Amino acid sequence: MSISDGSKGSDTVAERLAGVHRRIADAAEYANRDTSDIHLIAISKKQPLVALESALEYGQRDFGENYLQDALPKIRNLAQCGATGASPVWHFVGDIQSNKTADIAANFDWVHAIDRAKIARRLSNQRPPTAKPLQVCIQVNLERSPNKSGIPPDDCAELAAEISELPGLKLRGLMTLPEPQDDFLAQRQPFAELARLQGELNAAGYALDVLSMGMSADLEAAVAEGATHLRIGTAVFGPRPD
């Protein structure tokens, strides 16, 4: 069955979700992993509300957003929806500005891109006291590129120590967004590096259980290297609307 443009109705969302889950299952089999250890985050930035509603109806629960102003109306409108009636789990996956931390702390369940202690402290201080700690990942700039967000691998231990002392946050793991590669072995290399870094931090006493890595074009390589959270947008929803 061919998959048409993801913007044309709920059936295409179901087809795309099914296709992504088949890819995850095949990748898990190749890597001798259990699919229950691999979580799909549907990256819904700039997607219309109806696309998210369709994904919820077909069992998708985790959604990732990059832009706060775009995300907040979706969070309000999808507070209780879907076939099971379960509330969505919201992941903020974009860069974080200081003036956005209060709304992120109040409305999201996860943050995947912490790269500064200042931002971590603001998120912790602004997390509502009645809410569970915000689940967070440190974003790692493996290529050490000055044009990309994230911290160098050598700085992770210091930031992890600071985050671990913040009562409003729960440090869960590491996130990376490597440069696109076409070759499977080349795709695996940065993911393997992130997994090694997680192992080093755990050996130092941290209990990190999350590797947030892998997108539509390289999810198989990410699964092969231990990804626990895949951030998939185009393969679930199709091209983003202009």
pLDDT at 144: 83
pLDDT reading at 81 higher than 70? no
pLDDT of 20 strictly over 70: yes
pLDDT value at residue 85: 64
Q: Is 4 within the bounds of a domain?
A: no
Of residues 66 and 143, more confidence is placed in 66
Q: Does residue 127 lie within any of the structural domains?
A: yes
Question: Out of 8-22, 58-72, 130-144, 153-167, which region has the weakest mean confidence (pLDDT)?
Answer: 8-22
In a domain? residue 153: yes
Does the pLDDT of residue 175 top 50, yes or no? yes
Which pLDDT band holds residue 41 (cuts at 50, 70, 90)?
Answer: very high
Amino acid at 157: A
pLDDT at 11 over 80: no
Q: Does residue 167 have a pLDDT over 80?
A: yes
The confidence score (pLDDT) of residue 239 equals 84
Average pLDDT, integer, range 179-199:
97
Task: Identify whether the C-beta of residue 81 lies closer than 8 Å to the C-beta of residue 50.
Answer: no
Query: How many structural domains comprise the chain?
Result: 1
Write out the two tokens for 230.
Answer: 């895949």
Q: Which of 6-10, 19-23, 65-69, 181-185 has the lowest mean pLDDT?
A: 6-10
Instruction: Tell me whether residue 151 is in a domain.
Output: yes
Euclidean distance between CA atoms 237 and 240, whole angstroms: 8
The pLDDT value recorded for residue 4 is: 32
The Cα-based distances of 107 to 51, 57, 89 in angstroms read 20, 22, 10
pLDDT band at 2 (very low <50, low <70, confident <90, very high): very low
- Bridge partners (DSSP) of residue 114 are 138
Residue 80: pLDDT band (50, 70, 90) is: low
The mean pLDDT value for 110-117 works out to 97
DSSP string, 115-148: --HHHHHHHHHHS-TTSPPEEEEEEB-TT--TTS
CATH number (domain holding residue 21): 3.20.20.10
| Average of per-residue pLDDT across 21-34 | 98
Please give the average per-residue pLDDT across 201-230, as a whole number: 97
Q: Is the pTM value of this prediction over 0.85?
A: yes
pLDDT tier, 6 (very low <50, low <70, confident <90, very high otherwise) = very low
Give the tens place of pLDDT for each residue, 140-164: 999 888 788 899 999 999 999 999 9
The per-residue pLDDT of the chain, averaged, comes to 92
The answer to whether residue 168 is domain-embedded is yes
Provide CB contacts within 8 A for 37, sequence distance 6+.
228
- Look at residue 108 and tell me whether its pLDDT is greater than 60: yes
- State the DSSP string of 187-229: HHHHHHHHHHHHHHHHHTT----EEE---TTTHHHHHHTT-SE
The residues near 188 (Cβ < 8 Å, ≥ 6 apart) are: 221, 224, 225
- Condensed to tens digits (0 to 9), the pLDDT of residues 83-99 reads 456 789 999 999 999 99
Distance of CA 62 to the CA centre of its chain: 9
The angle at the Cα of 34, spanning 30 to 38, to the nearest 5 degrees, equals 95
Is position 1 within any domain? no
Tell me, what amino acid is at 207?
Answer: A
Cα–Cα distance, 155 to 144 (Å, whole number) = 11
Instruction: Provide the residue range defining the domain that includes 221.
Output: 10-236
pLDDT in the model for residue 10: 42
Q: Is 5 inside any structural domain?
A: no
The answer to whether position 241 is within a domain reads no
